Chain A
Amino acid sequence: MTMAVKFMTKNFGRYDIRSLASYMEIGGLTALKKAIQMPGADIAALLTAAGIKGRGGAAYPMGKKWLQARAVKAAEKVIICNADEGEPCTFKDRTLIQNDPFNLLEGMIIAGYVIEAQHGYIYLREEYSYLKSILLNAIKQLTEKNFLGKNILGKKGFDYELHLCSGAGAYVCGEGTALIESIEGKSGRPRMKPPYIKQCGLYNHPTCVQNVESLSLVAAIVNDENNIYQTYGTKGEKNSIGTKLISVAGNVKQPGVFEIPFGITIRDIIYGLAGGLEGQPISLIQFGGASGKVASKDILDTPYSYEHLIKAGVGVGSGAILVVDESTSVIDFLITTQAFFSHESCGQCAPCREGNRHIRLLLQKIKDGVHTQADIEKLNSIADIMTVSSLCGLGQASQNALKTAMKVFPDAFKIMERGVKIG
């Protein structure tokens, strides 16, 4: 059984993150030097061969996204690194920036080359303001040595600059169009689509948004001449190639970030890597952050992969795994989750703004043991309406935990005789 591996995390702890020279001593920037000798489309093809799906949650094939972005003709194009990482229980992007900032930026420069963009933006959540100086310092050193700027590495016409922008505590700004509004200096309310940002994004320029982990994979893939990456993952289906960074937290003994090959089981992760439960037995496990779905301990022997998790009724999402033991009831868990979405809804569209509030109120009724069959039906119908009619992913996904919990833990929703409390 292979547990944690080192592919995208291989540089962790091996160089001084404040020094470009130190990064170069361990082979940093060799991928960029190699990349600019290659046609951009070939680099996108490498990502496609490695089967990389976007790691921000939506799992869109990365090579395909880069090819589409390349194909758009415009005087100026933009790449955005989404470092908003707002999903509760998700902290893998933080770890990547803390331990290997130059690798992320190298990935962004290669993206600039392939997509033929002139500007790259890193949108860093305000909660990670302590990582700002790491990134600014890295950008400064790369600019001084002409790995950023004009005619990068002597390549005529390869002009590319990086900028750092801060969020300000709004989860919805992780959504692409809201993120763009925020960088433009406005409140982060999602835009109507179309137009899609790949045609008309930041300051109306075609824009490609990519998660920190996705971009952190690029340099290693370009350097991976022997296709080591593709030896990891689920074989057969070939749906989940390679490795994934996961963040495990909750009632486990050793919460943390782990790089795993796709295909190890949830049990390996929780009991092997995260040290097992603190004391009480597992009540539920949530996958992919607050907008993710939940499962019971029956999922322990399921392999962690895109296809297996979907089949088991959950999904990879942001890569978060939250383990909750029996000291927190299912309903209390849901109330906290729903309160998060009520707080984070931008309020722009009614299904999400009102739906999240009403779900929260109905859940309180359930907790108090005073709900009726009509309340359960209302919960279902509000959740369904939100899924189909919310403007952005926040409203569409904020009831994922509720809907799955209703299926997996029907007892938690049982109608009680008046006065008998549950939860």
Chain B
Amino acid sequence: MTMAEGDLAVTELAFVRRSTIAPRPPPATMTGALGWLRENLLSSAFNIVLTILIVLLLAWAIPEIVKFLVVDAVWTGNDREACLESVQHREIGACWPFVWERLPYFIYGSYPIPERWRVDVFFVMLAVGVVWLLWLNAPRRDLGAIYFFLILPVTSFILLTGWSTIGLRPVDTVLWGGVLVTIVVAAVGIVFSLPLGILLALGRRSHMPTVRVLSVMFIEFVRGVPLITVLFMASVMLPLFIPEQWSPDKLVRALVGIALFASAYMAEVVRAGLQAIPKGQYEGAMAIGLRYWQIMRLVILPQALRVTIPNIVNTYIGLFKDTTLVFIVGIFDLLRTIEIARIDPKWATPVTSTTGYAVAAIFYLIFCYGMSRYARAMEERLTKGDRR
């Protein structure tokens, strides 16, 4: 091949770099607060409009909330007089003395006052168990699991319901209320719904027709009726069919109803995860000689649950809030105790209800946001584990 003169001239230009270019810092528009703003809030016209709208919304809402909860709030007082409009107080915010006075009721319901230390002990034991189990670097997590799933339920049961032989006065569950009930119902629902849901999901995908049909029937039936119906069935209808002396406690019936209800939803969540696992995983596991339950426990479920963590937590958050429905069958959860307290004539003011509901909102927000944050952290940790 011959080369034209022009080509020769090109070859003389130094296209070959002989030294390495030292890395330079990125332009200022990419880094720092300014870069972040450009990247995240002002990247396009639509984004800019959204940013402005949200800033306006926050500018409107946050001062109002702060004003009600803090600035205009009443902090001291003994009865409704303190929270009424007066010459000094034109605008009245949250009525905190009301919450302060009724706080024990919100927490314990009608649990007998001399026995309330038992509830406190339960809260502490539960907190220890939850931290032990959820903190992934905690020491002896195997003991933590035994504590949480075996020791904690038994001791809490004895502690809360009482046992006269060891000197704990029996306390009827009718007297339980407030945060205690909300926590107990949510904890039982959360702890039981996942294993039951997994079993139902596996049943639904089973090759055995009877198992499959029963699972499908249960899941579809429970998903087809509202939770309120399940609770009514459990508390009103069930006693009609069962002799009175055999009929379990009202709270227990509601607990069973909620756990079964949540497990049907959990089953569908888990099934979605199971369907995401390729067939090759089953075949690989079968070929090395693992049996069905080993395959599920060691190979399939760890992968399936991992991809469904966001959905599992979503179901948990829904469940946590659905626990308020137990008030329909006469169980006094947190919301119900607030409902009762807010119509107490002693504290009847225009702001009492709003204050009470604000307390409920803050309580649920803290718990649900906590669950959501924990799930996020867990997801990040797991994706770090098997970087792809």
Is B a genuine binding partner of A?
Answer: no
